[in-house]
């Protein structure tokens, strides 16, 4: 079968060709020759990328309407981006997850780091949630889903088409059940606890797998103590701590449905009598606990991304500092404070500095005993700092 020739796009002479040759997966709009022909390409068009000397660099997906105008799909300029190509990427990703996890509950595809730029797939046993956050993936969704079912054997597939990334690509927001049926919520075993994931109506894909190793480490610190899990979502840190032997956990979140799922997870885990949930603004809740002079052995603060972009960085760092200040005030002397950031714009050093400032402003002092990152189902592409977004600081407060 013959295929029509691919469109050609070319780098400007001053573009950083070396970075692209060494694995950087994006081309920004100011690095590409954007003549009338290039601007006329439909978002998601597959093209061959050349350097300014017309030497081939690989096969890319083009979106003339995006700041990231090209995403590298394959170093082979003759690659055919179809079902077989998707299946090869999925098999490679699956091999890592099957080596790392005993049960099929994990992030299967972590976008650029797994060779599928802008695509996230989380697996929940026989169901999967796909986030096609780039125009090229949206336009080839049928081939991706067919390959996913063939490689993994999943029976149900949900498309979660929500979030900032899709907006930047000019894509509509929608959540659709594409294949099979989904019984909501889905029980997910992790770290000795059972979490309940709403695949159709929950936040993002329904559960955050990235914190799994940090849940486990926090649980070892919580044995026999009481735990405050702020921005708890469906009870991530709280349920793991209870499963690990914590005496009591209080989960605070602004979402009533998320807290209801936390309660269902506690019941499924056999720890319902030791879980308390509080709905409300996290900052207000922490201030109220301080007012009542309540203290905990372990306090965890896992907020949403306060600095999702460089433009939001300074405001985000101030928010992280405030979280640290309020959280530190709720920890008993000798207890532990866990602070998390999923903001890729705030690197580890700046997040750590903001956290230490907040702890100091609370009149507390402590030690960093561990720094956590995402689990192995969230691999980091070394050339793309954004793929290593999660940072978790574990403090022991000595005074």
Among all residues, which ones are annotated catalytic?
342
Q: Which two tokens stand for residue 273?
A: 């009598």
* Whole-angstrom distance, CA of residue 37 vs CA of residue 265: 54
Number of H helices, E strands in the chain: 12, 19
The DSSP 8-state label assigned to residue 274 in this structure reads: G
> How many angstroms separate the Cα of 191 from the Cα of each of 96, 203, 212, 216?
19, 21, 7, 6
Q: Do 245 and 218 touch, CB atoms closer than 8 A?
A: no
Q: Do 331 and 396 touch, CB atoms closer than 8 A?
A: no
* Whole-angstrom distance, CA of residue 153 vs CA of residue 136: 24
Q: Do 304 and 231 touch, CB atoms closer than 8 A?
A: yes
- For the chain, the straight-line distance linking the first and the last C-alpha, in angstroms and rounded, comes to 72
* Whole-angstrom distance, CA of residue 272 vs CA of residue 265: 8
For the range 116-121, what are the long-range contacts, defined as Cβ-Cβ under 8 Å and sequence gap of 24 or more?
A: 116/86, 116/89, 117/25, 117/26, 117/61, 117/71, 117/72, 117/73, 118/71, 118/165, 118/169, 119/144, 120/205, 121/148
Buried b (16+ CB within 10 A) or exposed e, 149-178: bebbebebbbbbbbeebbebbebeeeeeee
């Amino acid at each position: 079968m013959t295929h029509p020739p691919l469109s050609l796009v070319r780098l400007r002479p001053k573009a950083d060709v070396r970075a692209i040759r060494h694995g950087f997966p994006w081309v920004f709009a100011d690095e590409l020759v954007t003549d009338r022909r290039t601007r006329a390409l439909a978002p998601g068009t597959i093209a061959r990328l050349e350097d300014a000397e017309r030497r081939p660099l690989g096969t890319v997906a083009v979106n003339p309407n995006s700041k990231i105008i090209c995403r590298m799909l394959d170093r082979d300029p003759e690659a055919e981006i179809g079902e077989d190509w998707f299946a090869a990427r999925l098999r490679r990703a699956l091999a890592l997850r099957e080596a790392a996890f005993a049960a099929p509950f994990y992030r299967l595809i972590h976008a650029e780091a797994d060779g599928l730029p802008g695509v996230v797939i989380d697996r929940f046993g026989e169901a999967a949630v796909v986030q096609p956050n780039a125009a090229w993936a949206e336009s080839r969704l049928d081939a991706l889903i067919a390959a996913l079912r063939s490689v993994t054997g999943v029976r149900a597939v949900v498309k979660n088409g929500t979030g900032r990334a899709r907006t930047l690509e000019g894509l509509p927001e929608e959540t659709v059940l594409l294949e099979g049926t989904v019984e909501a919520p889905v029980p997910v075993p992790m770290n000795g606890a059972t979490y309940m994931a709403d695949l159709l109506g929950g936040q993002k894909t329904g559960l955050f797998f990235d914190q799994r190793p940090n849940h486990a480490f926090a649980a070892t610190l919580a044995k026999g103590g009481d735990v405050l899990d702020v921005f708890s979502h469906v009870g991530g840190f709280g349920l793991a701590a209870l499963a690990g032997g914590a005496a009591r956990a209080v989960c605070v979140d602004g979402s009533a449905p998320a807290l209801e799922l936390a309660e269902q997870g506690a019941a499924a885990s056999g720890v319902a009598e030791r879980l308390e949930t509080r709905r409300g603004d996290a900052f207000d809740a922490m201030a109220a606990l301080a007012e009542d002079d309540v203290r905990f052995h372990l306090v965890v603060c896992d907020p949403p991304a306060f600095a999702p972009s460089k433009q939001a960085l300074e405001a985000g760092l101030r928010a992280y500092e405030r979280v640290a200040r309020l959280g530190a005030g709720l920890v008993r002397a000798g207890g532990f404070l866990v602070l998390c950031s999923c903001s890729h714009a705030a690197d580890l050093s700046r997040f750590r500095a903001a956290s230490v400032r907040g702890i100091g402003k609370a009149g507390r002092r402590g030690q960093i005993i561990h720094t956590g990152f995402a689990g192995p189902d969230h691999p980091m592409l070394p050339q793309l700092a954004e793929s290593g977004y999660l940072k978790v600081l574990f403090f022991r407060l000595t005074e």
